[in-house]
Amino acid sequence: MASIEEQSKGKSDGEIRYLTPLDIETTAKKRFCRFKRAGIKYVDYKNPDFLMEFVNPQGKILPRRLTGTSLKYQRKVSQAVKRARHLALMPYVGDLLK
């Protein structure tokens, strides 16, 4: 009995080796909301060049964790992108930035 406890205790004291390294350093790039910083209040759906930065090469809207925009402006961006798609200023699906 004791040995089992020792084993369990010993393991917890000793360094527990996992298969994969525990702390995976993701490069924590400081992200900021460009709309707050630039003070832009309205996302215009009429110039597709600006909206291309929020869309991946396939034409899909990038998530906030990549672009770093705040929730309020991410909604405006997604609405503007959808309007631009409706007006054929931007493709629904496409390999545009390739």
Partner 1 sequence: MNHYETVFILNPVLSEDQIKETVKKYEDFLTSKGAEIVNKENWGLKKLAYPIQHKKSGFYHLFEYEVEGSTIDPLEVMFRRDERMMRFLTVKLDKHGVDWAKERIKRVKSSKS
Instruction: Provide the minimum distance between the beta carbon of 91 and partner 1 in the complex, in angstroms, as a whole number.
Output: 4
Q: Is 39 helix (H, G, I), strand (E, B) or coil?
A: coil
> Which is nearer to partner 1, 8 or 40 (by Cβ)?
40
Least distance (Å) between residue 62 CB and partner 1? 18
Q: Which is nearer to partner 1, 18 or 42 (CB)?
A: 42
Applying CB under 8 A, the residues found at the interface with partner 1 are 41-42, 44-46, 48, 83, 85-92, 94
Please state the closest distance from residue 64 (CB atom) to partner 1, in A: 20
Find the shortest distance in angstroms from Cβ 89 to partner 1. 6
Q: How far apart are CA 81 and CA 32, in angstroms?
A: 20
Q: Nearest Cα to 55, choosing from 38, 78, 73?
A: 78
Comparing CB distances to partner 1, the nearer of 68 and 91 is 91
